[in-house]
């Protein structure tokens, strides 16, 4: 009987979860029918836990928008710094147009940069003043709602727990009274009468059910309030984001318009506008039609003096002392009596204006040219015993031993050789002319004439050999002397006594004595 009564009390004081499958009855209501300890009976804990989670979510969103506000404020500061980079008006004076040119565009860049900075700063302030503060207020409201849940349902839950504890004790006393009545009826008193105990149980159960009903109504009301409050939270978050979206779109549109305006202004400037204006007001720019200067047309003192005009120029081959081979170079014969050798005929060439070899002809003797029937077109220049000859870039004094110096030159043709020889002989101290032998025909005369001599063909074939060149005494009338590399300025020498040469005041010979050499077979 006691078990049945307890079951009926439990069914009367709670809502059965098995009455409807899939019912939307809150889990908090199911806690009411559980006979648990007072500290465990907190149906409001689920609501409190949910809104604590909402408070954390709103706090995160507050931190997010605070970060966006900081970003916008930093962007505004950087754009302000960028605007200070543009210094207008230009400090370069009248190099650029004051109006209608590049300077106006730079004014626009500076002003637009400041305007963009203001747009970002305004967005940052809007986020701080409108969105962040609104969310912080929402977070405070959530905290207040959590406190209300604790105050309203918490006290009722504690009262229900106490009433359930009393009900359990009264039910136990009823069981004891009934047991005493059945076992020792004579020991039952007025307080332990089962009827009286049952009345106390019924009264306590009514009180318990009343407290449970009050708790249930409070929880239902709090659930409804919480549902409406949560809708307000979501709407507040949506409103905050919508506000940010509107202001950010407005700011982005304004910034985009500023950049587009700058691009349009920049593209409207003609590329040659500044230069045309600059060239029009400048007095120091050259006219593009001004002809280029020609160094050949420059006139300077003594440009046409006879002493600076070459007597003869062209290419000759000179025999090298050690290799005994010929090397072609560019030569210049000057009125001063020098035969200069150059590396190149182009004065602009590296070292082309400085001679690498020079001979002072008034101190030299010119040998006879090759015969007309010779295949090699040669002539020789020999330094005088009492004179000087120059080599390289300095002068050369003959040694005290009186050795002679001879240089062999070869031309490309006989006509070229004779032109050089005739011009050189006019500047040398003396020159020698070989007599022409009578041309006699016949093999006998040719054999007699060539007896004891190397043939011209053999001489030409062995010209590159150092051994054959040392034996070629017929072509080289003078032996090569040792060249001294001592530097010094060229000097003039006076002719020896009884030489037959009369020297003028300038050191040049005024009369030449023709010396005829004859060859005997």
The CATH number of whichever domain residue 254 belongs to comes to: 1.20.1270.60
Which DSSP symbol is given to 312?
E
pTM score of the predicted model: 0.49
311 shares its domain with 259: no
CA atoms within 13 A on the CB side of 388: 20
Q: Is the dihedral of CA 204, 206, 211, 216 positive or negative?
A: positive
- CA nearest neighbour of 481 among 258, 321, 313: 321
321 shares its domain with 254: no
- Tens-digit pLDDT string for the chain (521 aa): 434 444 333 333 333 333 343 443 344 444 444 444 444 446 678 888 999 999 999 999 999 999 999 999 999 999 999 988 988 888 776 777 877 788 888 988 999 999 999 999 999 999 999 999 999 999 999 999 998 888 877 777 888 888 889 999 889 988 888 888 888 888 888 888 888 888 988 998 999 899 888 888 888 888 899 899 999 999 999 999 999 999 999 999 999 999 999 899 899 888 888 888 888 887 778 878 888 888 878 888 888 898 999 999 999 999 887 778 899 999 999 999 999 999 888 877 776 778 988 999 998 999 999 988 888 899 999 875 443 454 444 444 433 334 567 899 999 999 999 999 999 999 898 888 765 444 445 565 555 455 554 444 444 444 443 333 433 433 443 333 333 333 433 444 444 444 454 545 444 444 444 444 433 33
Contact 503, 509 (CB under 8 A): yes
Q: Does residue 480 lie in a domain region?
A: no
225 shares its domain with 367: no
Identify the bridge partners of residue 511 per DSSP, sorted by sequence position.
Answer: 502
Contact 505, 422 (CB under 8 A): no
238 shares its domain with 129: yes
| pLDDT value for 420 | 94
191 shares its domain with 79: yes
Rounded Cα distance, 512 and 508, in Å: 11
Phi, psi angle pair for 365, to nearest 5°? -115, 130
210 shares its domain with 341: no
244 shares its domain with 316: no
150 shares its domain with 208: yes
| pLDDT value for 446 | 57
| Tokens at 94, concatenated | 């009248």
Residue found by looking up tokens 């409807």 in the block:
20
Rounded Cα distance, 359 and 383, in Å: 9
Contact 387, 491 (CB under 8 A): no
Q: Does residue 515 lie in a domain region?
A: no
Pairing of strands 338-342, 357-360: antiparallel
Q: Does residue 451 lie in a domain region?
A: no
**Phi-psi group of 328: left, alpha or beta (phi > 0 → left; psi -120 to 50 → alpha; rest → beta):** beta
204 shares its domain with 103: yes
Longest pairwise C-alpha distance within the chain: 196
Q: Does residue 219 lie in a domain region?
A: yes
Contact 435, 399 (CB under 8 A): no
Q: Does residue 520 lie in a domain region?
A: no
Q: Does residue 145 lie in a domain region?
A: yes
- CA nearest neighbour of 322 among 480, 166, 156, 185: 480
Cis peptide bond upstream of 51, omega within 30: no
Q: Does residue 383 lie in a domain region?
A: yes
Residue span of the structural domain in which 184 resides: 40-268
Helix (H, G, I), strand (E, B) or coil at 363: helix
Rounded Cα distance, 144 and 49, in Å: 14
If DSSP states are collapsed to H, E and C, what string results for 44-72?
CHHHHHHHHHHHHHHHHHHHHHHHHHHHH
160 shares its domain with 81: yes
We report the CATH number of the domain holding residue 348 as 2.30.29.30
Query: From residue 405, how far is each of 25, 352, 466 by CA, in Å?
Result: 135, 26, 19
Q: Does residue 29 lie in a domain region?
A: no
Number of domains in the chain: 2
| Tokens at 46, concatenated | 């689920």
Rounded Cα distance, 281 and 273, in Å: 13
211 shares its domain with 126: yes
């Amino acid at each position: 009987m006691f078990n049945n009564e307890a079951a009926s009390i439990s069914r009367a004081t709670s809502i059965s979860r098995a009455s409807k499958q899939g019912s939307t009855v809150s889990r908090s209501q199911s806690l009411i029918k559980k006979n648990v300890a007072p500290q465990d009976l907190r149906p409001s804990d689920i609501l409190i836990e949910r809104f604590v989670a909402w408070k954390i979510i709103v706090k995160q969103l507050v931190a997010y928008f605070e970060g966006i506000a900081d970003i916008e404020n930093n962007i505004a500061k950087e754009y302000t710094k960028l605007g200070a980079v543009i210094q207008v008006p230009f400090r370069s004076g009248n190099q650029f147009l004051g109006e209608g040119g590049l300077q106006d565009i730079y004014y626009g860049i500076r002003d637009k940069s400041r305007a963009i900075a203001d747009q970002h700063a305004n967005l940052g302030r809007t986020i701080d003043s409108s969105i962040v503060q609104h969310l912080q207020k929402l977070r405070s409201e959530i905290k207040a709602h959590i406190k209300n849940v604790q105050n309203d349902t918490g006290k009722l839950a504690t009262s229900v727990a106490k009433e359930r504890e009393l009900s359990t004790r009264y039910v136990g006393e009823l069981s004891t009274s009934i047991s005493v009545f059945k076992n020792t009826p004579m020991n039952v008193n007025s307080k332990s009468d089962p009827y009286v105990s049952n009345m106390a149980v019924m009264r306590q159960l009514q009180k318990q059910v009343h407290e449970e009903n009050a708790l249930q109504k409070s929880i239902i009301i709090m659930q409804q309030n919480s549902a409406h409050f949560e809708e307000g939270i979501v709407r507040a978050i949506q409103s905050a984001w919508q506000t940010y979206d509107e202001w950010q779109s407005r700011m982005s549109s304004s910034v985009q318009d500023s950049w587009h305006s700058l691009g349009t202004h920049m593209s409207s400037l003609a590329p040659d506008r500044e230069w045309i204006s600059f060239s029009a007001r400048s007095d120091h720019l050259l006219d593009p039609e001004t002809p280029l200067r020609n160094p050949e047309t420059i006139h300077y003192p003594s440009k046409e003096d006879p002493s600076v005009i070459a007597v003869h120029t062209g290419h000759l081959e000179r025999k090298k002392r050690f290799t005994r081979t010929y090397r072609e170079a560019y030569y210049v014969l000057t009125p001063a009596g020098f035969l200069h050798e150059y590396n190149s005929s182009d004065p602009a060439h590296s070292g082309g204006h400085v001679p690498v070899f020079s001979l002072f002809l008034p101190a030299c003797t010119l040998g006879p040219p090759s015969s007309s029937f010779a295949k090699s077109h040669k002539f020789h220049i020999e330094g005088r015993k009492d004179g000087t000859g120059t080599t390289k870039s300095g002068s050369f004094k003959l040694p005290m031993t009186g050795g002679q110096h001879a240089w062999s030159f070869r031309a490309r043709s006989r006509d070229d050789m004779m032109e050089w020889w005739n011009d050189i002989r006019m500047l040398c101290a003396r020159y020698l002319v070989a007599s022409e032998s009578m041309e006699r025909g016949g093999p006998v005369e040719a054999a007699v004439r060539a007896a004891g001599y190397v043939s011209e063909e053999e001489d030409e074939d062995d010209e590159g050999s150092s051994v054959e060149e040392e034996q070629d005494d017929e072509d080289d009338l003078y032996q090569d002397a040792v060249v001294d590399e001592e530097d010094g300025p060229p000097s003039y020498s006076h002719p020896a006594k009884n030489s037959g040469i009369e020297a003028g005041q300038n050191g040049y010979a005024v009369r030449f004595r023709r010396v005829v050499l004859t060859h005997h077979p």
